[in-house]
Structure 1
């Protein structure tokens, strides 16, 4: 018996440091010094990381010191996988003197990759590049006394290798860590919380420009739902099941495709009588050239059960709500003619006649589709080409369902097209991607009063 106890104690003594190491892989203080030439002053960079929320959101503080310059910035790091933390776009300057760095902080984007080498543990920056997109440091020549200092700092953040080494495993603690995650008046990357009446969310992903090989990753409460999938394939993921309490959905831009930046738009629908559509868009101004953005959903299956975290708060920017007065969406996808109906969007129209244009914005590959409105066939087996084809559709009062059905997969699956809607003097674009397992559905609500 005594030997067994001793063995258990030895196992515990050995396992405890290993467990602590796994739990504290990211939290602590990381430091690097950049000094390419012996005769110049070094740039000191220090990153303090707090304990995570939901094992994925890490509040952090970045410190930069170079000569007379000192900058301190609060930011959010989001766990993408076991080896990488994505860097939030917005770095809030707590202190900057004697000048500010302005938009050049955007170059500290991408992910910090955890690496263990002979010289110790490091986090190495893997940037998403922003070359030649007109992002300049404001006030570079406002005071010529600081010009060289500004240029050196700018070039360091823009192009130099950044590898931070762990110097302390004690997590950063500060009252600001709560608001970095919960977002009050400052947007660090987490949107306002949304209460969902049901457990299942719908998800549609659109490319706001064109399919240019943008890829994305989606993580829900630390679990990877989609890993580096191209946007033209991403819309196959259309259901998210919430956990009880707080749910954090992190959307990661893996790259900027052929036409920077990444322009994925994640449209999420909540079920129930008060169901709404919410957009989380990398093309939005607050997320331009971002690496990550986080949606926050709260779900309680039992009335009166308390949430796992604090109360809702206000933030900037607000969660983009799409057509806030629209009818509730369905809790689960329906199946028509053996195929799943996947909704690509919903809009309102105040005119009875809707003009639609369907064309191929990519390579013509012989895609053929059929179109139904409220169960009536409008066109059957139409080939999609670059010239496009226009239709006038008469709407009935209330909800109208427009269904796009693939009749083949063309030469390059899946069947793809772009849909342009002209209504109420506005133009809206939707990307279609269908196959033999799913149709695309657009819901149009006609609410003109007599």
Structure 2
């Protein structure tokens, strides 16, 4: 009898696991492939069709994806980034970059899709992805030009209501990963920001972590994932001080910060401050209240850690008093022993220029009031000017180009007395002069691509 009771209990536990608990994905490949939905509530109105293609992941957590949305005469194709939150959910990146939008654009309405995609198992159709929105209740987002062309007004309104309120459940079509050259660009943020910040190098394997609320504590909660491992799950910001450090893996480290909700005062305004120790200690801020992240579900910081090679040569050691403060090797003045605060930055392209001359002349100057702006200039990763003050008199640089694409990056070293950091760039090439306006800060660099074709 005891054997029979044990067997019954064994079956009961498995029945609960299979039926009573929500199904969560455990395999890495559960997300990749093609998913689709056709929404047609009335026979006289064309259906809204959605196709979502998901690529293989990076670090088991970053999934590039393409979303296709069609309804009648409307056709839209968007690139976006999905980020693994846990075994059963993918966070939906804020920015859905339009590859195609015709005959009109949806503008900010794509923000209604912000939230998580939850993988569920059904008895009839198998796997499906269900959208769990972060609702924008009592927050009006209106498309400009809704009534510009009355022919499209009904189509726009129908699409808006669908994105805002209709239950979205995508059924699996196949498990073939989406493949496209753009997937590399989406992980390694270039001129388009999909949610991943530029990589930051660290010579120590431990980072300090502080979390703040930029407005006031309004029951915002956050989750943190490091290379696919959950560090914090639905952590209230009032209790965020319980986290004070993160240990890095050797090589690439992706830290995903998720907004679990929008709190009592939308949106979520958590700010994550990460500090690197070592020879070039700095603080880096990743802020949900920044304009580029407003109402987003997830943002990703990227840190690169390589242990220092051991020193084999025995060198004489000079004793240093304990009271001597540590200094920071930076161009701008800094308080000894205090890390310099620099926000995570993204590259913003200001233009592209094709030239036939191997050498071009760059001139940087301030066309407005000199306010102490300091900028650094890199060409193909090499520093051309470091900590240069922008003046009305200007400064000129000769640059030798390589064949093909050359990347010129302008980085703000301060914000001057009148933020942001601004300058005018004059480019002399092929007997012509081109003018570009620079506007940089601690959130973004400016990038000019110069293509050299002899």
For Structure 1 versus Structure 2, the TM-score category normalised by the shorter chain is 0.5 to 0.7
User: 2:234, 2:303 → 1: CA distance?
Assistant: 23
- The yes-or-no answer on 1:250 pairing with 2:268 is no
Give the 3 Å change call, closer, same or farther, for CA 104–241 of structure 1 in structure 2.
same
- The equivalent of 1:290 in structure 2 is 296
- The equivalent of 2:245 in structure 1 is 239
Give the 3 Å change call, closer, same or farther, for CA 300–42 of structure 1 in structure 2.
same
Secondary structure class of the residue paired with 1:132: coil
User: 1:223, 1:91 → 2: CA distance?
Assistant: 26
- The equivalent of 1:279 in structure 2 is 285
Deviation at 1:184, TM superposition (A): 0.3
- The equivalent of 1:310 in structure 2 is none
Give the 3 Å change call, closer, same or farther, for CA 80–139 of structure 1 in structure 2.
same
Give the 3 Å change call, closer, same or farther, for CA 44–117 of structure 1 in structure 2.
same
Q: 2:91 aligns with which of 86, 89, 111?
A: 86
Contact 2:32 2:54 in 1 (8 A): yes
In structure 1, runs of 5+ residues without a counterpart are 1-19, 305-322, 332-344, 348-424, 427-450
Q: 2:133 aligns with which of 106, 110, 127?
A: 127
Secondary structure class of the residue paired with 1:24: helix
Structure 1 residues 70-126: Cα deviation after superposition (integer angstroms, max 9, x where no partner): 000000000000000000000000000000000000101000000001121100000
Q: Map of 1:58-97 to 2, 5 A cutoff?
A: 58-97=63-102
User: 2:85, 2:332 → 1: CA distance?
Assistant: 31
Structure 1 residue runs of 4 or more that deviate by more than 4 Å after TM superposition: 327-331
Deviation at 1:46, TM superposition (A): 0.4
Q: Map of 1:253-264 to 2, 5 A cutoff?
A: 253-264=259-270
Deviation at 1:33, TM superposition (A): 0.4
In structure 2, runs of 5+ residues without a counterpart are 1-24, 311-330, 343-416, 419-454
Give the 3 Å change call, closer, same or farther, for CA 35–195 of structure 1 in structure 2.
same
What is the total number of aligned residue pairs between the two structures? 301
> RMSD between aligned alpha carbons?
2.5
- The equivalent of 1:182 in structure 2 is 188
Deviation at 1:303, TM superposition (A): 4.2
User: 1:56, 1:253 → 2: CA distance?
Assistant: 16
Q: What is the TM-score normalised by the length of structure 1?
A: 0.64
- The equivalent of 1:169 in structure 2 is 175
Q: 1:44 aligns with which of 39, 43, 49?
A: 49
Secondary structure class of the residue paired with 1:95: strand
User: 2:81, 2:224 → 1: CA distance?
Assistant: 17
Secondary structure class of the residue paired with 1:235: helix
Contact 2:35 2:170 in 1 (8 A): yes
Deviation at 1:134, TM superposition (A): 3.2
Secondary structure class of the residue paired with 1:48: strand
Secondary structure class of the residue paired with 2:104: coil
User: 1:242, 1:85 → 2: CA distance?
Assistant: 23
Deviation at 1:139, TM superposition (A): 1.2
Contact 1:264 1:283 in 2 (8 A): yes
Q: What is the TM-score normalised by the length of structure 2?
A: 0.63
- The yes-or-no answer on 1:203 pairing with 2:212 is no
Structure 1 residues 159-197: Cα deviation after superposition (integer angstroms, max 9, x where no partner): 100000110100000000000111100000000000011
Contact 1:275 1:328 in 2 (8 A): no
Give the 3 Å change call, closer, same or farther, for CA 198–71 of structure 1 in structure 2.
same
Structure 1 residues 51-70: Cα deviation after superposition (integer angstroms, max 9, x where no partner): 00000000000000100100
Deviation at 1:212, TM superposition (A): 0.6
Give the 3 Å change call, closer, same or farther, for CA 76–145 of structure 1 in structure 2.
same
Structure 1 residues 131-176: Cα deviation after superposition (integer angstroms, max 9, x where no partner): 2223211211111100000000111001100000110100000000
